[in-house]
Every structure is written in structure tokens, then in C-alpha cells.
Amino acid sequence: MKINTVAVIGTGFIGTVHVESIRRTGVSVKGVLSGSAESTKRGAENLSVSTQYKSVQEICGDKDVTVVHVTSPNALHYPQVKELMAAGKHVICEKPLALTAKEGIDLVNLADKTGLVNATCFNTRFYPMVHEARSLVKSDLIGVPRYIKGHYHQDWLTLETDWNWRLEAEQAGELRAVADIGSHLIDQIGFVSGLEISEVMAELHTLVKTRQKPTGPVQTFTIDTSSKRESVKMSSDDAAGVLIRFTNGARATISISQISSGRKNSINWEISGPDGSLAFDSENPEQLWIGHRGKANELLQRDLSMLSPSAAKISFYPGGHIEGFSETFRGLFERVYADIESESRSATYPTFADGVRSLQITDAIAESSQKSSWVKVKR
């Protein structure tokens, strides 16, 4: 079926990235919906879209809208996606798909029942060198992975005066750093390695005990200059350490932090097998490190002539012309849209089922931290 237009729910940092990336696919964005009439108006004007939706119901009733991107606060994902799919809209939803695995399973079942195309926005899979690493693992370059180390570190919530809606449990859920960025790291490691997590041992850290909340709204990654603030005690995780056991016996050690000064957006992992290792860092996304025991290590630069077909397909520019964060969204969206238009299922992007698996893993991480013990990941 032909995609007529797209609507986007949310006009903050990620909502803006979605709008800009949708346009780069050649698809038209008809309108946006934000948390209030004022923010919707401001978002529509800033993004130069024609329609300011007043409600999810209005989007559901708009026959011109084929696909809806959901980038609202986490607590709204489940009810909004449920309503949109019941109205026949294809949906791309930001992670987490829902606040609980049970809610996520409901959405998977609804997607199966309706036959609608669905995707969870684990966009970081779509760095070309991440796809290249997956291809090299599948080709047995390093052997079966047996040890993995990784981190996802940021610094935007380092100070007690830093604030965002993700710090509020009623909007974001009980988990924060693990759900917000740790889920991306874990998804990316699973995508590249092909391994399945069986159990976890985790410790969550709330290291900024009290924060100074501005009385006005604050956008993600912005600095509030308001002098009016109120002290708020914190309970969600600033950081976490997680040990992972995989079903094949492999092990992983990962670190998650939103309070690591100087780390702006570092997704970093190293996957080791008996015959070699692979390493990637999102702050230097053009390169993939290949480690060897008995010969010189290699540094593979993104160049279409040297990449696997999977990685080359999501490379938009010639080698040396740097691709980054925004291209990962474009790569994901193009594949989802292709499935909608061809009325097929290519399984080349993360679906709601991947969103549920992520929720099952993060639920186990939270439980492990509470119990101080290993916890099996439910299936």
C-alpha cells in the first residue's frame, strides 16, 4: 500500500529527530501532537508542519495518515499505540515499548491480530559498522562469541540541577538509565553477537540523591536558566553495573551511566571469540576495530566497496563523508516503510517483539538489583 502521510506524537528532542529523518526518506509529515496545545503549536511551527493535532483520537480519524511515530513520554506509549493500531495505523514506537512486559505482549498480540507493520525504535542497530560487525560474526570471523564488555555512558544528567521528564517515575517508569540508554546497548550487543541472554546480575545506582527541579518545562539535552527550583528526592537509576550470562555459556560485563562527565553519547562494546575480537564506539561510528592474537590488529573504515551487503545498504554517503546518529533513524524508517508499501515482512528491523524482549531483560535487571541475586530472564 502507498504511504500517504505520517504523523508524529512528540515534538521534543527525539520527536524532532523523527520528523527530520522521515523527511529524508521522501515521506511527508502531515502533522504533530505534543503534550499541550501550546507545545503542539510551537512544535508545528518550528518543524514547518501543517497540522496541529489536538488528540490521539484526531490522528486516528485522519485517513491521510498511514503511519504514526510515537515519541511521547514512556508512560503514554502503551495506551497511544493500542489506540492507533485499533484505528488501523502502522506504528513506529520509541523504546521502551511499554512500562511492563505484559503491556508489551498485549501490543504484540494486537499487531499480530491486525496485521499492521510495527517497529520498536532501536535505531542504534543502524550504524553501518554495527551491521558490518554482525555480518562478520555471522561469517565466523571471530568464532562463537564468548566474552563481551560494553558501556553506554552519557553526562547530561551529571549535575543536581540537570532535569528532564525522564527523572519522573510517573512519566518514565521506575527505571531510568537502564531503560533509556541501557536498553539500546543490550539490544545492539544481542543484534551483533546473535546471543540470547539467559540471566542477569545487576546493581542499580542512584548517586545524585536530590535534584533541583525547575518549575517550568525543560527539553531533553537543554539547560534550564530558571531561578525557580524545588528539591526532589530521587529514586531512579543514574547508573548501573550488569553481569550477563548467555544461553551458550558466554558472559558479558556492561556499565550504564548518565553521569559520566565528558561522555556525550558513547555506546561502546567489544565482542571476543576464540579467533578474534570486534569493537565499536558510537562516538567514532565510521570505524570498526578488529582484534587479532597472532597478527596486527585492523581498523576497518566505512567504505561501501569494503562492506557487506547489509552494511552497504544502510550507508548513504561515500567513505570519509561521516554518517552519524540521524542516519540510524533514516535507515530504520526506510526499511519499515518498504514493508508497508510492499505489504511484506522483511524482518530487517526491530519489531514490537524485540521491544518485549527488551522489557523482559530490563525487568530482570530491576529485580536482580532489588534481590542482589542472579535472575533468569522470562520468555
User: Are residues 241 and 366 both part of a single domain?
Assistant: yes
Residue 109 has φ and ψ, to the nearest 5°, of -65, -40
User: Are residues 134 and 161 both part of a single domain?
Assistant: yes
Residue 230: how many CB atoms within 10 A of its CB? Answer: 9
Q: Quick one: pLDDT at residue 185? A: 98
Q: Quick one: pLDDT at residue 228? A: 85
Q: Domains in the chain: how many in total? A: 2
User: Are residues 110 and 135 both part of a single domain?
Assistant: no
Residue 337 lies in a domain: no
**Do the beta carbons of residue 291 and residue 269 sit within 8 Å?**
no
Residue 378 lies in a domain: no
User: Are residues 143 and 282 both part of a single domain?
Assistant: yes
Residue 224 confidence class, pLDDT cut points 50, 70, 90: low
Residue 82 lies in a domain: yes
**Do the beta carbons of residue 337 and residue 96 sit within 8 Å?**
no
User: Are residues 102 and 144 both part of a single domain?
Assistant: no
User: Are residues 180 and 274 both part of a single domain?
Assistant: yes
Tell me the pLDDT tens digit for each residue of 166-187: 999 889 888 999 999 999 999 9
User: Are residues 159 and 236 both part of a single domain?
Assistant: yes
User: Are residues 77 and 215 both part of a single domain?
Assistant: no
User: Are residues 137 and 49 both part of a single domain?
Assistant: no
User: Are residues 111 and 173 both part of a single domain?
Assistant: no
Tell me the pLDDT tens digit for each residue of 244-261: 999 999 999 999 999 999
Q: For the chain, what is the mean pLDDT?
A: 95
149-162 b/e (C-beta count within 10 Å ≥ 16 → b): bbbbbbbbbbeeeb
Domain of 112? 5-116
Closest by CA position to 192, among listed 249, 136, 153:
136
Q: Quick one: pLDDT at residue 223? A: 62
Beta bridge partners of 246: 197
Q: State the DSSP H helix or E strand holding residue 266, giving kind and residue range, or none if neither.
A: strand 266-273
**Do the beta carbons of residue 267 and residue 152 sit within 8 Å?**
yes
Q: Quick one: pLDDT at residue 226? A: 56
Residue 44 lies in a domain: yes
Sign of CA dihedral 121, 124, 128, 134: negative
Closest by CA position to 8, among listed 119, 98, 92, 118:
92
Tell me the pLDDT tens digit for each residue of 59-97: 999 999 999 999 999 999 999 999 999 999 999 999 999
336-364 b/e (C-beta count within 10 Å ≥ 16 → b): bbbbbeeeeeeebbbbbbbbbbbbbbbbb
CATH code of the domain in which 137 resides: 3.30.360.10
Residue 162 lies in a domain: yes
Residue 221: how many CB atoms within 10 A of its CB? Answer: 14
Tell me the pLDDT tens digit for each residue of 306-357: 999 999 999 999 999 999 999 999 999 999 999 999 998 888 999 999 999 9
Beta bridge partners of 255: 151, 241
User: Are residues 217 and 248 both part of a single domain?
Assistant: yes
User: Are residues 245 and 365 both part of a single domain?
Assistant: yes
Q: Quick one: pLDDT at residue 209? A: 96
Give me 233's grid cell: 528526592
303-317 b/e (C-beta count within 10 Å ≥ 16 → b): eeeebbeebbbbbee
Q: Is this model's pTM higher than 0.75 or not? A: yes
Residues 6+ apart with CB under 8 A from 63: none
